[in-house]
Structure 1
Amino acid sequence: MTSRTPIPDTVTLHVPFRIVKRGGRKEVKLPDGAVQPRRTDTTLVKALARAFRWRRMLESGEFATIADLAEREGIAPSYMTRVLRLTLLSPDIVEAILDGKQGPEVTLSQVLKPFPLEWERQNHRISTTKSDT
């Protein structure tokens, strides 16, 4: 473009993307190969924090049973039990979630489903992105 080239009034830019639901929110998904910013899923992070806090409260003897703690927190014991299972996730998965490196299919509803106790099997089942980009 030279200084004598006229500047167009309108420029059309096509950016392929799609809208996906992740953790109850809608996100823009760019095409494969495009650099996507990392986004920490605050819903997952909050659930992990709650799980470890509740486990600490139970282990310290502050509450004798999950039912007692669930009553104090105002939630169903069955939900608390599912969230407490998050303390059994492999350190790699927990770190990926905290760093926002988990795959887009890793949502709270997915990790609340039963998962294997062996960390290696968890890592195969719950996909995480290991790259630093």
Structure 2
Amino acid sequence: MSVAPTTIRVIIPLAIRKRNGRPKIMPPSNPVEANEAAVEAHVLRAVAKAWSWRRKLETGKASTNLDLAHAEDVSDRYIGRMIKLAYLAPAVLEKLLLQRCPLAVSLKDLTAIADLPWAEQVAAAFGSSEA
């Protein structure tokens, strides 16, 4: 007669990623949900803020970055650095916002990529294999 085991082993595949220098446990994801959550929320918020600031400057609701900085309670240098996201190439914005493709660079690097010509931005933001 055989005895049933008294221990049950449950295996849950988890990924550990570092965010802001701290480890973060990521839950398992199925491929359908993974594509939707591929772009991190802080990147989407940064692009949305940049477009909002751009509209305020273009419509005259704010006349300088310093006006925006006082209204948002941030530094004018931060506004100047982040507003570049409003000038990303349309192809980058489409892949980022509509297709939800994950970036190959950090948000800080994405602001620097906005200074590149539009033809080079997609490859720089999403990896050299895509164009």
TM-score norm. by structure 1 comes to 0.69
Alignment of 1:79-118 (within 5 A): 79-98=78-97, 99-103=99-103, 105-113=104-112, 115-118=114-117
Greater relative contact order (CA < 8 Å, ≥ 6 in sequence): 1
In structure 2, which of residues 8, 11, 14 is the aligned counterpart of residue 10 of structure 1?
Answer: 8
5 Å-filtered alignment, 1:26-105, equals 26=24, 28=26, 35=31, 37-38=34-35, 39=37, 40-98=39-97, 99-103=99-103, 105=104
Where does structure 1 lack aligned partners over 5 or more consecutive residues?
A: 1-6
CA distance in 2, matches of 1:85, 1:119: 13
CA distance in 1, matches of 2:41, 2:21: 11
Q: Identity percentage over the alignment?
A: 28
Structure 1 residues 23 and 89, CA gap change in structure 2 (3 angstroms):
farther
Count of aligned residue pairs for this structure pair: 121
1:16-39 superposed Cα distances (whole Å, 9 cap, x missing partner): x64223588836398xxx847121
Alpha-carbon separation, structure 1, partners of 2:20 and 2:93: 16
RMSD: 3.4
Decide which structure has greater helix share: 2
Q: CA deviation at 1:85?
A: 0.2
Report the Cα distance in structure 2 between the residues aligned to 1:27 and 1:119, rounded to whole angstroms.
36
How far 1:91 sits from its partner (Å)?
A: 1.5
Cα distance in 2 for partners of 1:23, 1:51 equals 22
Q: Which residue of 2 aligns with 1:21?
A: 18
8 Å CA contact 2:87–2:114 kept in 1: the answer is no
- 1:114 deviates by 5.1
CA distance in 1, matches of 2:40, 2:92: 13
**Per-residue displacement from partner, 1:73-120 (whole Å, max 9, x unpaired)?**
1110111011110011112221222242123x3332321335443111
Change (3 A) 1:85 1:45: same
